[in-house]
Structure 1
Amino acid sequence: MVVPLFGYLGTLPIRLWDESRLANNAFEMYDTGHVLVTTFEYSPDIWNTKPPLLIWLQAGLMKVMGVNEWAVRLPSAVAGLLTCALLLFLSLRYLKSFWFGFIAILVLITAEGYVTEHGTRTGDYDALLTLFTTLSALAFFAYFETKRIRYLYWVFAATALAVLTKSIAGLLFVPALGLYAIMRGQVLPLLKNKHFYIGLAGCLAAIAGYYLLREASSPGYLQAVWDNELGGRYLQVNENHPGDFWFYYYGFSELKLTAWYLLVPCGFAVGLLLKKDRMNRLAVFCAVVIVCFFLVISISKTKLHWYDIPLYPFLAMLIAMLVYTVFDWLRSLAWAHQHMRYNVWPFVFLFVLAINPYRKTLERTYTPEEHPGDKVFFDIGYFLKDALKGKQDITGQSLLYEGFNTHNLFYLYALRDKGTRLDFQDWTNLKPGERVIVPQEHIKQYVREHYDHEVVEEIGTITKFRIHGKKQ
């Protein structure tokens, strides 16, 4: 798990859109010490209306590790590790098998849609959300299996943490859990249990407490939550992210679970057919969670590729049911034990099955590279990363950039934190003697056409100019 989850986590520069927005939220919280209201450019952030649990973790890590990519991304990587630990814990305690958990983890960390950008490899909400939704669901399952009250409290605690991570997305497993309770005939016993109401009250208090405090500190917040996350996102296409009902299925089959997706129905069938009651019930539970969550996100009008990330631990368990059954059968072969000192066949099977998916995972994480279409766009990120390390001289210079620039703003914040000032500048009003850094070709062209200038240095797609004055 180490290389897929943690290896070279800081190699790629901060990504545009969500990761960079959250990174700037975290820096400003770290810089000001104000922990209740997330800000962007030091004003209350009404575009990103999610609660700040992830932001708190990132800001805390900036105090410990400094302002860098690791501080932004480490919570996601650790969440991935803990999610794997949950699968292993379930396997050891409930199925009494190390190897089932091992196989489920192997499937999970070789899923392109899980160990990826917006998943465990970047500072986005979804890996942390998946940790808490997985914990909540498995605790719910464990409660019905054992009737131990502590698991019921874990359900509500994890649900509260999921909501404080990504708002309403933390509740999207609730329909599946309700349906499973109906299928098990446990709705009335659950409703008669006083601990259910104590846990529910605690969960609601934690969630409502944050939202009400945030509204009191920044009036209009609750309306923004409604517009951006509830009616505004689920009932209509938001920010030009449409998709048909099968959007997520095509994602699994073509991009994000390509090595394993055909084994999902096979794993469910095997899980039902095995003469093992615990495996049967776990298969049914995983299937209910997967189908219900898939329906919820597929009916939504707004579609984004990472909305399905909470499904991956449950898909991994269904796939593991088939792989583990073959693995276990090979371990029990009598002739192998009679003719071989050590039965290697189950491990050969597992190696052959997993080596290609794992190799591809290592290629994506050990040596992460930009998509060819993105390389030019992110060149400025690599330049600013080098500047942060002292490898580029930016003293007394300004940055010219047009468009959404939160990925660059993070590095300007990080440089300022280290005592180096680099600001954005208006390229239509440059003064004689100014030195500017220009990554975008249309701005370079503007400088060439409108200013007497000198090219100081060219570094890849980055050009440094010294301005002598406007052309007459």
Structure 2
Amino acid sequence: MFSFFESQRLLFYYLGFLAFALAVLTKGIAGLFFGPVILIYALINKKLIGLLKNPHTYISFLGMAVLVLGYYFGREALNPGYLEIVSFNELGGRFEENLGSKKFGYWYHLEGFKNYRFAPWLLLALLALPLAYYSKDDKLRKLTTLSTLAVLVHFFVISSSSTKQPWYDLPMYPFLAMLASIPLWILYSALQKVNLYSFALSGKIIAFLLLVVVFRAPYQEVWDATYKPSEPPWNYETMGSEHFLFNVLYGKDNLDKAKVLHLGNNDHLRFYKKVLAQKGIEVELIEPENLQSGDVIVTCQAEIQSLLNENYRLELLNDSSVYRKYRILSANRKSPIDHR
């Protein structure tokens, strides 16, 4: 849409509406969160009336409606009640009620990107506003305005919702990244013009070194995450048993007839069960009520460890930072465990 405002080419206009349609088909009502941004941006640049008078606006909107409504009504025909569920989850329920998240305050997402998600770049993003305002580059000012509006509108919507999840703020980061890049671009452009000791390429070399210094840390993080992956401690509760099976797969640990005990969804464990089965290693995923004396158990969940300690005499075989391996010596109970 920004390209359309700058060039007035209808191709960009239709592509913009197509992008909105695909966003709605992908993420539901969240795909329209940036719709008000376009309207406000058009109003600021005195182009809103022109959009409303443009017949292509209504043609594009009609095409978008056909795509989106066709899908939703098609799903309703195949799965009666689908629209009711969508209405509750996306048109009010998730906004008015807390659905599946902890109770967080209004500024939860601000604290997130201020303290750790966008911490190194926040100052640069804030510097973009005054730098772009005083810039002679009209397109740079407009891009800054659009990106700022996108961040503010999206932040207001997700912060006003009763349901808050850590990933709700992700659509803001491309726009925050553009804002953070503006001071770097201005400095980079200025350094390219530097001419030290009559050496024509000195400015370009200095500008390149600036980029190396600035982006070394994030590229190092990407490298480490790719080639030296590590699980954050808060994931151990759900992913510890997966790490055990991963180590078994690559010969870093031995199964030794151990059974994996995990409450809740265990699709991530079933994946490794299938992969290991192809190598002739059978993994048994066991339920608490099926435990017997002599079983060797691998678990990573504190709830399971409490159940085991309450109901069995145990021998701790392995206490890693990620998972624990026990042998059940005998039972301290007369009836099956109730883990519900």
Structure 2: how far apart are the matches of 1:361 and 1:314?
A: 20
Instruction: Select the structure of larger CA radius of gyration.
Output: 2
TM-aligned CA deviation for residue 362 of structure 1: 3.6
Change in 2 beyond 3 A, CA 1:425/1:162: same
TM-aligned CA deviation for residue 286 of structure 1: 1.5
What code does the residue aligned with 2:230 have? E
1:109-258 paired onto structure 2 within 5 Å? 140-258=1-119
What code does the residue aligned with 2:288 have? W
Change in 2 beyond 3 A, CA 1:240/1:423: same
Unpaired stretches in structure 2, ≥5 consecutive residues: 335-340
**Structure 1 position 438 matched with structure 2 position 298:** yes
Structure 2: how far apart are the matches of 1:259 and 1:228?
A: 35
Structure 2: how far apart are the matches of 1:356 and 1:166?
A: 32
1:16-165 paired onto structure 2 within 5 Å? 140-165=1-26
Change in 2 beyond 3 A, CA 1:427/1:321: closer
Mapped contact 1:395–1:421 kept (Cα < 8 A): no
Structure 1: how far apart are the matches of 2:330 and 2:116?
A: 51
Change in 2 beyond 3 A, CA 1:211/1:341: closer
**Structure 1 position 288 matched with structure 2 position 149:** yes
TM-aligned CA deviation for residue 261 of structure 1: 0.3
TM-aligned CA deviation for residue 214 of structure 1: 2.2
The residue aligned with 2:287 is: 426
Mapped contact 1:398–1:435 kept (Cα < 8 A): yes
**Structure 1 position 342 matched with structure 2 position 206:** no
**Structure 1 position 463 matched with structure 2 position 322:** no
Flag the structure with more relative contact order, 1 or 2, with Cα contacts below 8 A and sequence separation at least 6: 1
TM-aligned CA deviation for residue 247 of structure 1: 2.1
Mapped contact 2:260–2:298 kept (Cα < 8 A): yes
The residue aligned with 2:220 is: 359
**Structure 1 position 370 matched with structure 2 position 231:** yes
Change in 2 beyond 3 A, CA 1:338/1:297: same
What code does the residue aligned with 1:448 have? Y
The residue aligned with 2:189 is: 328
Change in 2 beyond 3 A, CA 1:302/1:181: same
Aligned to 2:122, the other structure's residue is in SS state: coil
What code does the residue aligned with 1:172 have? F
Structure 2: how far apart are the matches of 1:189 and 1:418?
A: 65
Of stretches 154-163 and 384-393 in structure 1, the one that deviates more from structure 2 is 384-393
Structure 2: how far apart are the matches of 1:431 and 1:252?
A: 48
Mapped contact 1:267–1:319 kept (Cα < 8 A): yes
Structure 2: how far apart are the matches of 1:315 and 1:191?
A: 29
The residue aligned with 1:448 is: 312
Change in 2 beyond 3 A, CA 1:199/1:341: closer
TM-score, normalised with respect to structure 2: 0.80
Change in 2 beyond 3 A, CA 1:188/1:414: farther
- Paired residues in the alignment total 327
TM-aligned CA deviation for residue 295 of structure 1: 1.6
The residue aligned with 2:165 is: 304
Given candidates 235, 240, 256, the residue that maps to 1:379 is 240
Of stretches 268-277 and 242-251 in structure 1, the one that deviates more from structure 2 is 242-251
TM-aligned CA deviation for residue 381 of structure 1: 0.6
